[in-house]
Structure 1
Amino acid sequence: MSAARWFLREPSPESASRLFCLPYSGCGASMYRKWPRFVGDTEIVPIQLPGRENRFREESYKTYEALADDLVEVLLPHLDRPFGIFGHCGSALPGYETAVRLLERGYPTPARLFVSSQIAPHRGPHGRFLEMTDAELAAEVHTLIVELGGTPRPDLVELSLEILRSDVETNKRYHPAEPVRLPFPITALGWDEDVEVDHRLMDSWADCGETTFRVLHGPHYRFMEAPDELLDAFTADLRA
């Protein structure tokens, strides 16, 4: 598998640091199209996972552990400067597992792990999506496509539903009994209008390492707009 397929664009050699961003459940890397390429001198690097968008013919990963096994090898050549990992909701969990795998293999580790709108792995799985029927998930897909600025055509909803269902099933399988405590800091980002994951449930990330908790303004999908307070949190915490 060509490593280039994991990126929307090749990471820039000019960046002082990088933030690798995993896509939200049911989405591909293009969900970050509203985000700037750089936040200060930190490059935003969206990750493209198999089974979606330009990789839709490839099989999706069935476990976050298998995903992390491959992703760390793809990232390794680009870990030559300070970096962070970001994931929101379902993608926060493979972000954490990727950080664990980097640590276990003796590879460079993140300056910081950013987890948004998700409880710690040993307290999950969590969320109403886990018990939804296909019809209910299709309604969520419809909403998500609109949030992304698209038109929810029936064929697009059907394709996105397949991806979301696969991601939901992978989420259900992930439940480590005890978390690996990371030797680098975590920023846990909650949202004050989030009805999916109450920000007060994120306190369990403290079991996974030294954690800074931030509550930002907005609902569950606000992060896709790259609000200034989110970008400011990246800048401040990566520097710290």
Structure 2
Amino acid sequence: MNSPQPRPKKPPRWLLRRPDPDAPARLFLFPYSGCGASMYQAWPRRIGAIDVCLIQPPARQNRIAEPHYGTYENMARELVDYLRPYLDRPFAFFGHCGGALPGIEVTRQLAAAGLPLPERVFVSGQVAPHDGPYSRLFELDRDGLRTELGHIITRLGGEPSGPLVEMGLEVLVNDLGANKQYAPGRISVPCAITALGWSEDAEIPTKLMGGWQDTSADCRSVELQGGHFEFLSAPPALLAEIRRDFGDVADVPAEQEQAVG
């Protein structure tokens, strides 16, 4: 009697939802340290004609049972393979603070593999790789990080209960570890960059973001109004910068933008 064949492993769920096959462009959003893709719940499903695609790393939310990726290099290696079918039209990456650097590493690995490159990488509230690692959170012990995580959960509209905080704490510690380890030095990214600072950001003041000018031949720096977490609400000024840098491909009336369900 033949032994039963092992069931094939399910592919990693790197995207929270399937990209729209009819969208003319895609924007992939990387979550903030300690969070999952649902942190972008207030963002629209479309920014103009751009399909908003939510990247979901392992070890959180619907991937809670999977091991952490360890380093940005490991994450990028898997993402490059997973995203290949979705790079068939103009696309870009967006990430804020600890979510900005994975987009840089994915771009570097796409270039090394000779694959399509993003039209632009939008880096928000983060220093350039050669100016880091930089974060106030690196100085906190587990109790301090636990308190910080409670504040993040509250900002996302959740209730920081004990079990939820403890699960998220391990993710936050590991995400910060990946940030600390990412030290590629002075790099040149083979695509355009938009460096987005925030006028009231006490975590990463805009004045610390000047190093992005050295990472790309086409780097545009912008300061928007608001604090470190302003991006969570998808303020119109931020969406306008994204549409501006995508160009004509983003052009549909703003009233056609669909809220995330």
TM range (shorter): over 0.9
Q: Give the aligned partner of residue 120 of structure 2.
A: 112
Q: Give the aligned partner of residue 200 of structure 1.
A: 207
Residue type at the aligned position of 1:119: V
User: Highest CA radius of gyration, 1 or 2?
Assistant: 2
Q: Give the aligned partner of residue 51 of structure 1.
A: 59
Q: How does 1:145-160 map to 2 (within 5 A)?
A: 145-160=153-168
Q: Give the aligned partner of residue 189 of structure 2.
A: 182
Q: Is the 8 A contact 2:94 2:100 kept in 1?
A: yes
Q: Is the 8 A contact 2:58 2:64 kept in 1?
A: yes
Distance 2:203 2:167 in 1: 23
1:102 to partner: Cα distance: 0.7
Distance 1:127 1:49 in 2: 21
Report whether the alignment pairs 1:25 with 2:25.
no
1:133 to 134, 137, 141: 141
1:178 to partner: Cα distance: 2.6
Distance 1:199 1:2 in 2: 42
Q: Give the aligned partner of residue 256 of structure 2.
A: none
Paired-residue identity, %: 46
Q: Is the 8 A contact 1:4 1:10 kept in 2?
A: no
TM normalised by structure 2 equals 0.89
1:4 to partner: Cα distance: 6.2
Superposition CA RMSD, Å? 1.1
Q: Give the aligned partner of residue 23 of structure 2.
A: 15
1:51 to partner: Cα distance: 0.5
Cα 1:226–1:155 change in 2 (3 A) is same
User: Which segments of 5 or more consecutive residues in structure 2 lack a partner in the other structure?
Assistant: 1-8, 249-261
User: Which segments of 5 or more consecutive residues in structure 1 lack a partner in the other structure?
Assistant: none
1:200 to partner: Cα distance: 1.1
Q: Is the 8 A contact 2:104 2:189 kept in 1?
A: no
1:142 to 146, 150, 153: 150
Q: Give the aligned partner of residue 5 of structure 2.
A: none
Provide the secondary structure at the position in 1 that maps to 2:22.
coil
Provide the secondary structure at the position in 2 that maps to 1:6.
coil
Deviations 1:59-80 (A, max 9, x none): 1111111111110111110001
Q: Give the aligned partner of residue 95 of structure 1.
A: 103
Q: How does 1:224-235 map to 2 (within 5 A)?
A: 224-235=232-243
Q: Give the aligned partner of residue 39 of structure 1.
A: 47
Q: Give the aligned partner of residue 166 of structure 1.
A: 174
1:177 to partner: Cα distance: 2.4
What stretches of structure 1 move > 3 A for 4+ residues in a row?
1-4
1:183 to partner: Cα distance: 2.7
Residue type at the aligned position of 1:194: D
Q: Is the 8 A contact 2:186 2:215 kept in 1?
A: no
Q: Is the 8 A contact 1:191 1:199 kept in 2?
A: yes
Distance 2:157 2:74 in 1: 32
Provide the secondary structure at the position in 2 that maps to 1:5.
coil
Distance 1:232 1:159 in 2: 35
Cα 1:75–1:55 change in 2 (3 A) is same
Q: Is the 8 A contact 2:35 2:172 kept in 1?
A: yes
Deviations 1:86-140 (A, max 9, x none): 1100111111001111111100000001000000011110011112101111111
Distance 1:223 1:194 in 2: 11
Provide the secondary structure at the position in 1 that maps to 2:99.
helix
- Equivalent pairs counted in the alignment come to 239
